[in-house]
Chain A
Amino acid sequence: MTTLLDPREPRLAPEPESPREHQPKPKAGMVLAVTDTVVPALLVEHVTKRFVVGRRKKPVLAVNDVSLRIERGEVYGVLGANGGGKSTLIRLVSTLLTLDSGRVEVFGFDIERDEMAVKRLINRVSVDAAFFKKLSPLENLVYAARLYGVDAGHGRRDSIRILARLGIAEKRLSRPLEQMSRGMQQKVAIARALMTSPTLLLLDEPTTGLDPRSKLDVQTFIEEMRDDHDTTVLLTTHDLAEAERLCDRIGILNDGRLVTEGTPTELKAQVAREHGRPRTLESVFMSYTGRSLDEDAEADEDADDE
């Protein structure tokens, strides 16, 4: 099978700078067993996050007492309406937001206490490909590689290999990123995240805005990452077919609360049983978010207008 990334780093959680008292320092094989069998890839326990939006307005409860557990190698999808708390949840795990209450652990490392250790294990792709647009893809990616302690040469080689796999030829990698299409920029964003070999990959609507072929390329690549590289994925998406194809389990986030979770098959059976609706993910979405996909799109447009 084709190897897309160099297995430079063992797929172990590295030693935290301040190891937790109850967790032994990771040591070779013993820890492999510990990480494989006991420690979840991501543990979210009773997490709440509020935002103050104005002095006279009530704080917005973006994430409300959410708990979930993702096992190593799993692809976990989070579905929900716009404003439902999906991106906030991703940002919390990314260490870009602080928790109001609750606890988040990545491979046993607390995101607040062991922030640096967590940062080395994760990477994220968001809906908008954020780069220095005047720089070339390679310049952007080598910059990102250095930030993650990856050699520039390794970073360059991995970037070229990953982007070739995603359908972007090497000759296009030296021109400014602003000259690339939105879809190609998003593929570069995906390469940036994968190049650092994250053990937990946070994908926040990674295929939004991509054409069908590009979307398929990215989805296939995510599957390969999981199968070949033991990567755990937390994915948010509005594409229900994508969720069904990629996700081992799905959680529905509505108004900041995790209202249900299960495998796609379990959720479809549940919605048929409890709500008498067709056994589709769209039925699941509508039943648990209280709105249709069309309503969600309208809400999105309204939000854009504001």
Chain B
Amino acid sequence: MTVMTRELKASYAFVARNWHLTKRYWGWEAAFLVYAVAGALSITLIGKDQGDDRLLFYLMIGAIFWNYLSVLFQILAEQIAWERWEGTLEYTMMAPVRRVSQLLGSTFYAVVYGLVHTAVILVTLALFFGLDLSRADFATAGLFMLLGSLSFIGIGMMAAILPLIYVERGAQMTFVLQSLLLLISGVYYSIEVLPDWMQTLSRLSPATYVLDGVRRGLIDGAAPASQFHNVWPLVAMAVVLIPLGVWMFGRAERYAKRTGKLKRVG
């Protein structure tokens, strides 16, 4: 068996495992999906209430695409916390699997899971509001989802380090990080309303560029070629954050092995 085949098989192990877990926790999955749909509807209804179709679109895109990015982030960031909770972390870490393969498998599942979630919410909202999407440029939306996924994968990998090195508080830290991304990324409002120092921070969040790009594509029909100012930061973040995430994960694993923090607690 070649190294590549073995690593792909190992990557698939994480995909299959997560799929089995999704099936076993189907009740929770259904509850999360209902909550996500209800949340997106509630927020979008603010636009309806204001009688402003552009605002309605604006909020809807924020709700849907933030849901996608946060699902991706959560699955990646919580993979270690999850294993620590189940007690399987040591077994995964001692298996002959490269971390890249592990992260690849988890990421692939997270992307597919996030896309299914997003599709369900998008269809529900489109039907609920009878939206006219004839001007929408879905290719642009797809491109920004792809680029946004790549940069969020890097952030998710870095966030996954927190439960690895902070045994008791790591999971809470990832939650705080996710909340801050929500606050600064212009999910439901323009980042111009933020104080100057927060606007600086918002430019470091990939979600800012994803949401702006998707909004221009779906509301105004702007093609990717006209959105270079949103594309290049996402490409740069993906190029930097993914290798950085893998490298930092390796360093954190080494630290956890030196200090004995892989051992289950709780």
On chain B, the residues within 8 Å of A98 by CB distance are 254, 257-258
On chain B, the residues within 8 Å of A120 by CB distance are 96
Residue A242 interfacial (CB < 8 Å)? no
Residue B251 interfacial (CB < 8 Å)? no
Residue B1 interfacial (CB < 8 Å)? yes
Residue B263 interfacial (CB < 8 Å)? yes
Residue B12 interfacial (CB < 8 Å)? yes
Q: A149 CA to B5 CA in the complex, in Å? A: 9
> B5: nearest residue on chain A (CB-CB)?
A149
A136-165 vs B: 1/0 string, CB under 8 Å?
000100111011110000000000000000
Residue B226 interfacial (CB < 8 Å)? no
**A134 and B6 contact, CB distance less than 8 A:** no
On chain A, the residues within 8 Å of B86 by CB distance are 130-133
On chain B, the residues within 8 Å of A124 by CB distance are 91, 94
Residue A95 interfacial (CB < 8 Å)? yes
B residues 224-264 touching A (CB-CB < 8 Å): 254, 257-260, 262-264
**A148 and B96 contact, CB distance less than 8 A:** yes
- Secondary structure class of chain B's binding surface, majority of residues: helix
> B101: nearest residue on chain A (CB-CB)?
A147
Residue B128 interfacial (CB < 8 Å)? no
Q: A148 CA to B259 CA in the complex, in Å? A: 26
**B259 and A130 contact, CB distance less than 8 A:** no
Q: Known interface pairs A143-B16, A143-B17. Does A128 touch B87 (Cβ–Cβ under 8 Å)?
A: yes
Q: A52 CA to B21 CA in the complex, in Å? A: 36
Q: A128 CA to B265 CA in the complex, in Å? A: 12
Residue A96 interfacial (CB < 8 Å)? yes
Residue B42 interfacial (CB < 8 Å)? no
CB distance from B84 to the nearest CB of A (A): 10
On chain B, the residues within 8 Å of A149 by CB distance are 1, 6, 9-10, 96
Q: How large is the interface on B (under 10, 10 to 19, 20 to 34, 35 or more residues)?
A: 20 to 34
Residue A126 interfacial (CB < 8 Å)? yes
Residue A259 interfacial (CB < 8 Å)? no
Q: A51 CA to B257 CA in the complex, in Å? A: 11
CB distance from A11 to the nearest CB of B (A): 17
Given B88, B95, B254, B257, which contacts A132 in the complex, CB threshold below 8 Å? B88
Q: Known interface pairs A51-B259, A139-B20. Does A96 touch B94 (Cβ–Cβ under 8 Å)?
A: yes
On chain B, the residues within 8 Å of A176 by CB distance are 24
Q: How large is the interface on A (under 10, 10 to 19, 20 to 34, 35 or more residues)?
A: 20 to 34
Residue A30 interfacial (CB < 8 Å)? no
Given A119, A130, A142, A148, which contacts B16 in the complex, CB threshold below 8 Å? A142
> B88: nearest residue on chain A (CB-CB)?
A130
Residue A135 interfacial (CB < 8 Å)? yes
**A116 and B96 contact, CB distance less than 8 A:** yes
A62-106 vs B: 1/0 string, CB under 8 Å?
000000000000000000000000001001001111100000000
Q: A130 CA to B257 CA in the complex, in Å? A: 19
Residue B90 interfacial (CB < 8 Å)? yes
On chain B, the residues within 8 Å of A135 by CB distance are 17, 20-21, 24
CB distance from B253 to the nearest CB of A (A): 10
Given A130, A134, A139, A146, which contacts B91 in the complex, CB threshold below 8 Å? A130
Q: A132 CA to B13 CA in the complex, in Å? A: 13
Given A116, A130, A144, A148, which contacts B90 in the complex, CB threshold below 8 Å? A130
CB distance from B242 to the nearest CB of A (A): 22
Residues of B with Cβ closer than 8 Å to A? 1, 6, 9-10, 12-13, 16-17, 20-21, 24-25, 86-88, 90-98, 254, 257-260, 262-264
Cβ contacts A to B, 20 pairs, < 8 Å = A88-B260, A91-B90, A91-B263, A95-B94, A96-B94, A96-B263, A97-B260, A116-B98, A119-B94, A128-B87, A130-B88, A130-B91, A135-B20, A143-B13, A143-B17, A146-B10, A146-B13, A147-B97, A148-B95, A149-B96
